[in-house]
Homo-oligomer: A and B are copies of this chain.
């Protein structure tokens, strides 16, 4: 295990194999910089940023941290070429790509000395990422928040399945918010963990306080993987979700669902704090997140719990 987690800390040049997910409307420079300065890997979520906003966040990050950081890049982003240019021009050290084919940009980014990690939901996609030259993969289980795989494979099954198939390091995501869950993920074969929901519950997250409070209030069964006909997404149940459910009950087709979803609903919910009509993306693990804490404390608490449990095992 020691050897395995070293693979990722060496690859990224970080102290602790704890990676903060690049979540839309949540992961700006404040959060990324706090996590990296605490010894983890901070990540900017470029999927909800205009090109000039991404540039601004990268520059602000650099003013507040000299540590390595990453940008999450959804490959289906409309203005992707502008994002790619910014990333190369600004010498971003690490890119986590998602939602698209890793073959398209991995070589280009690597030519510029950028480490590339691709997010996958199956060992088949993990192999494709490895073949495309990626340095590592994030294997993200069904329990994770936000957009998600169609096969619904959970972290408990996915991590060993992916580790069996690829030789590059595997970062576990989905259902991880504590040092205990981190240790379980490492036992399953992961070299590091990517944590999203837990960092939403921090003052540094750029999401709206209403959304953060909704995450703290969430109970078991309050999230659901929905909208599978479009792109599957794990949502916190609210009035918007009730409308989706009602549409399903009437056998809505893809077009009806797309029109019901509309545009800007994630921003409305997570950034503007409209808990009724917004789309609220969060993981199942929100049910065991009870307190808002500074990102630095979150990293330290997870890391300390992980080490304490690990050392107590024999």
Contacts and interface: CB of A to CB of B under 8 A. Distances in A.
Contact of A157 (B122, B284, B314): B284
Interface stretch (A94-102, A108-116, A218-226, A295-303): A218-226
B160 A180 contact: yes
A314 B314 CA distance: 7
15 contacts: A124-B220, A142-B143, A152-B221, A152-B225, A152-B284, A153-B221, A153-B284, A154-B156, A156-B176, A156-B181, A157-B284, A184-B184, A184-B187, A310-B313, A313-B313
A164 B175 CA distance: 15
A72 interface: no
A143 B142 CA distance: 9
A221 B161 CA distance: 12
Interface in A115-144: 122-124, 141-143
Contacts of A124: 220
Contacts of A76: none
A310 to B, nearest CB: 6
A261 B189 CA distance: 39
Nearest to A164: B288
Contacts of A221: 122, 150-153
Interface string A178-192: 101101110111000
A314 B153 CA distance: 30
B180 A154 contact: no
Contacts of A309: 187
B187 A180 contact: yes
Nearest to A285: B157
A158 to B, nearest CB: 8
A127 to B, nearest CB: 11
A103 B218 CA distance: 28
A142 B143 CA distance: 9
A155 interface: yes
A260 interface: no
Contacts of A313: 1, 187, 310, 313-314
B143 A157 contact: yes
